[in-house]
Chains A and B, each alone.
Chain A
Amino acid sequence: MALSDRDVRVQTLDMSDDLEIINAVRSIISKSLKIPVERLTPDSRLDELGAESLDVIEIVFGLEEKFDISIPFNADEKKRVAIPDDSGEMQFSTIGDIANVVERLIEAKAGR
């Protein structure tokens, strides 16, 4: 499958940013779901980890507070989020997806 512009942009981000974000996501989910952080990988899916809807909105809130961003998450569309000022929606199922959304929103906030 061809890479979209966004995929290219995400891949070219500084590796240390990338790691920092995914580790913060893992840490917030670990605290919320009481799962050891070692068991959380980029492929872990929130639903398979047993996250209920209240857990998910708490995780979203934790990420917003940590990174000072607004995640346009609606509980009715829980598998995707629509990125403001952007053409599309992004997946919101796995830890890797969530890290990508956070990265994209940090970029958008910085005007990148």
Chain B
Amino acid sequence: MNRVVVTGIGVVSPIGSTIDRFWSALVEARSGIGPISVLPTERLTTTIAAQVLDFEPSQHFDAKREGLLDRFSQFAVVAARAAVRDAHLDISEEIAPQTAALVGNAAGGQNSVDESYYKLYGQKSPRVHPLTIPRWMVNAAVSQVSMDLGIKGPAYTIASACSSGTHAIGQAFQLVRTGQAAVALAGGTEACLTVGTIKCWEALRLLSADTCRPFSKTRSGLVLGEGAAMVVLETRDHAMARGAPIYAEILGFGMSADAGDIIAIDPDGAARAMRAALVDAKTNPQDIDYVNAHGTGTALNDRIETIALRKAFGASAERLAVSSSKGVLGHSLGAAGALELAATALALHHQIIPPTANFEEPDPDCDLDFVPNTARNAPIGQAMSSSFAFGGLNAVLVMARA
């Protein structure tokens, strides 16, 4: 089996769309959560989100192309281009059929849906834009990535809500490890900040009115976000042969289903995915130094995730550094796992543990080392990035320092 490494990272995020800006905001716990400004808010109760504010589509696409891409596809293509550039990768005619593209996504082209339904129901228009379906379909983003970069190998979308990005990178890891692909572009994208989707989230009563405070006693719910992250995965041999920079090695991938509640996270299901990832990585709990947690900032998730970490790591949980990036990035659903995997790879690369932002007060129910507010220089040999989705679908990756 091949060893698999991360050689390129591309992000479009609420804290910037270059790796330097992304990483420095994570390390400095500078939150990308702010007042909603990309939407009319008069019918919303929610006033905050983690929006991508510096994204100008015309800088990336000519007018004809832009019209074909919903915002979630634009994010994916821009992140994928950046990852390929970062990896100094040339997707030649020879390598294109051996290159895979896997994109995680939860909600599809919600901006296109919202616009067309507003015309239909709101303005009573008899027709919607003819390109609504090719913009909206949940596979549009991965199709646009493959078209834009000339990727001709295995390509598909993975939809597992908040775990989509992690599932996509995990599947890409397996394709490269087993030799079904030599190179893979993998990650997640989400652009779900529309009046319609936010109203639906409000109805679930899980959104914070304040900000996202993972693992803090004062946490008050999750904050929606948007963005994309794509990484380049390739065999270690392929990367070495072409002298590519290596951020980190992916060692293992674990998955599980809770077969329980449609909303609530289950400690056993989450712990099983973590254990499966450790087994797949042929490593031990005591060898993991850092966990980038799911940490949504809801009362339930953070309490149960703490229990799950203890179940998976046993006594080694005491020496773990655990942080959630969602205080900085918000929760971008299908993109979240990919953005967090990128953060974990950068943590291994820089040997710095990014903190849990907006942390105010320890919670007796969340009694691990959550690296509150201040980054930590620490040797990180191996790290874990975990996602636990609505519907009980869990995905966990284990990585090592390159």
* Interface positions of B from 235 to 265, Cβ below 8 Å from A: 261-264
> How far is B220's CA from A73's CA once the two chains are assembled, in angstroms?
12
B282 in contact (CB, < 8 A): no
Among the 9-residue stretches B14-22, B199-207, B359-367, the one with 4 or more Cβ atoms under 8 Å from chain A is B199-207
Known: A54-B262, A54-B263, A70-B45. Contact between A76 and B204, CB under 8 A? Answer: no
* Further pairs besides A53-B263, A74-B206, A76-B208: 13, Cβ < 8 Å: A53-B264, A53-B300, A60-B205, A61-B203, A70-B45, A74-B207, A74-B220, A75-B205, A75-B299, A75-B300, A76-B220, A76-B299, A76-B300
How many chain-B residues does the 8 Å CB contact rule pick out? 18
Binding site for A on B (CB under 8 A): 45, 203-209, 219-221, 261-264, 298-300
Does A57 count as interface, using CB distance less than 8 angstroms? Answer: yes
Q: Give residues of chain A (48-63) contacting chain B, Cβ–Cβ below 8 Å.
A: 52-54, 57, 60-61
Q: How far is the CA of A75 from the CA of B207 in the complex (A)?
A: 9
Main secondary structure of the interface of B (DSSP, over half): loop
Determine if A75 and B203 form an interchain contact, defined as CB atoms under 8 angstroms apart. no
Q: Does A75 contact B220, Cβ atoms closer than 8 Å?
A: no
Interfacial chain B residues near A54, Cβ < 8 Å: 262-263
Asked whether B205 lies within 8 Å of A74 as measured between CB atoms, the reply is yes
- In the assembled complex, the Cα of A61 lies from the Cα of B203 at a distance in Å of 8
Give per-residue flags for A63-81: 1 if the beta carbon is below 8 A from chain B beta carbons, else 0.
0000000101111110000
- Does the CB pair B204–A75 fall under 8 Å? yes
Closest 10 CB pairs of A and B: A76-B299, A75-B205, A76-B221, A57-B205, A75-B206, A74-B205, A73-B205, A76-B220, A76-B298, A74-B221
What's the Cα separation between A76 and B297 when bound, in Å?
10
Contact between A76 and B262, CB atoms less than 8 A apart:
no
Cα A54 to Cα B204 in complex, Å, equals: 8
Can you give 8 A-B contacts (C-beta < 8 A)?
A53-B264, A60-B205, A70-B45, A74-B206, A75-B299, A76-B206, A76-B208, A76-B299
